[in-house]
Amino acid sequence: MKWDGIRIFLAVARAGQMLGAARALGQDQATVSRRLKALEGDLGSDLFHRSPGGVILTEAGERLLPMAERMESEAMQALSTVGRSNLDLAGTVRIGAPHGLGSYYLAPVLAEIADSNQNLSLQLAPLPRDFSVSQREADIAITLERPQEGRLIARKLTDYTLSLYACEAYIDEVGPINDVEDLKRCLFITYVQDILYSQRLAFDRNLIPHARQVFECASVVAQVLTLAQRGVGYVHDYALPVAPPLVRIMPQHQVKLSYWIVYHADARHVRRVTEVVERLCDQVSKDRVLFLRTG
C-alpha cells in the first residue's frame, strides 16, 4: 500500500467524483481511477460505490478514511518539522471565509502575506457558506459560530458590528429614515432568507415586515452596490473604507456578531497554517477599530 494511493483516496472521498479529484490533484481521470483500483487491490476491498453521478464510500472506505486523514496529517507535520517549510513559509494554505469579510478585508491582508513569502501559496474562498476543515475543504476557516464538535482548534478572531445604511440620494428621495415607521417608505435590502447558511445572519427579520418592499440578495458585495443606488440595509461597518459612500441611519438598530478562526488539531504543528493564523489574528487586532463602530 503506497502513500500516493492514500492521497488519491482522500481526494476522491472529498470530491465525491473521479473527475473532481483528478482536477484537484492535477492528474488525468484515468490515472486517478487506475491508482485507486490498485489501492483497492492492495487492501482487498472496494472503497467506493461507483455510479454515473459520482462515488460514495463503502463501509471499508468509511473505516479507512480517519486512518488516511491521520496519515496525511503526519506527512504534513513531517514536511513542516523536517523539510524546508520549517525554515520558511512554503506550501499551500486555503482560507475559507464569509463573503463580506473575505471581499472587504481579508483579500488585501492575505495578498500582502503572500507577497512577502514567495514559496507560500494562499487561496482565499470568500463565499456565503461554512467550510469544513475536518473534511479538508479549507486549511483555515473563519466562521460566525464557535464549532462544538470535531478535533478542531478555534479562537475568537474579533467581534464586529453592522449598521443600517442608505445613500444620500435615496434619503433625499424618500425622506428622513430615523425609526422603524419610516421603513414603510423604503426598499429593504437583505439576504435571501430561506438560504441563510447561519441563523446568526437573520438579525434583520424584525425589521423586514415594516418595509414597503424587500429585495433579497445572497451576495454581500451586491447588497452594498445596490445600497449605493437605492434602498436601506445592513452593512458591515469594517467595509465602509472600501464601500461606496453611504449614510448611517437608525444607529439604535446596530448589530454585533463575532468571527471565529478555526483549523484542524492535526495542523497545529504545520507551520504554514499556524503562521497564517497568527498573522491574521495580529492584523485584525491592530484593526480592531474598523470592526467595532461605536456611537
Q: What pLDDT digit, counting tens, does each position of 58-71 carry?
A: 999 999 988 888 88
pLDDT value at 7 more than 60: yes
Higher pLDDT, 103 or 132: 103
d(CA 142, CA 156): 9
pLDDT value at 150 more than 60: yes
Q: What is the CATH number of domain 3-70?
A: 1.10.10.10
**What percent of the chain clears pLDDT 90, i.e. is strictly above it?**
67
Higher pLDDT, 133 or 238: 238
Q: What is the CATH number of domain 85-158+258-290?
A: 3.40.190.10
- pLDDT attached to residue 88: 56
Residue 39 CB-half CA count within 13 A: 23
- Band of the pLDDT at 262, cuts 50, 70, 90? very high
Q: Residue 232: CB partners within 8 Å, gap ≥ 6?
A: 164, 165, 166, 170, 177, 183, 186, 187, 188, 189, 211, 249
- The predicted-structure confidence for 172-224, as pLDDT tens digits, reads as follows 999 999 999 999 999 999 999 999 989 999 999 999 999 999 999 999 999 99
pLDDT value at 87 more than 80: no
Q: 47, 68 in Cβ contact below 8 A?
A: no
- Band of the pLDDT at 86, cuts 50, 70, 90? very low
Mean pLDDT to the nearest integer, 149-161: 92
- pLDDT attached to residue 84: 52
Greatest Cα-to-Cα distance within the chain, rounded to the nearest angstrom = 74
d(CA 183, CA 187): 8
Same fold for the domain at 85-158+258-290 and the one at 159-256?
yes
- pLDDT attached to residue 128: 81
Domain boundaries, the chain: 3-70, 85-158+258-290, 159-256
- pLDDT attached to residue 77: 67
Question: CB pairs under 8 A, 24+ apart, for 190-195?
Answer: 190/214, 190/215, 190/216, 190/217, 190/223, 190/233, 190/234, 191/128, 191/216, 191/217, 191/218, 191/223, 192/216, 192/217, 192/218
- pLDDT attached to residue 80: 60
CATH topology for 159-256 is D-Maltodextrin-Binding Protein; domain 2 (3.40.190)
- pLDDT attached to residue 81: 63
Please indicate, yes or no, whether the overall pTM of this predicted structure exceeds 0.85: no
- pLDDT attached to residue 202: 93
- Band of the pLDDT at 105, cuts 50, 70, 90? very high
d(CA 271, CA 287): 24
pLDDT value at 231 more than 80: yes
Mean pLDDT to the nearest integer, 9-31: 88
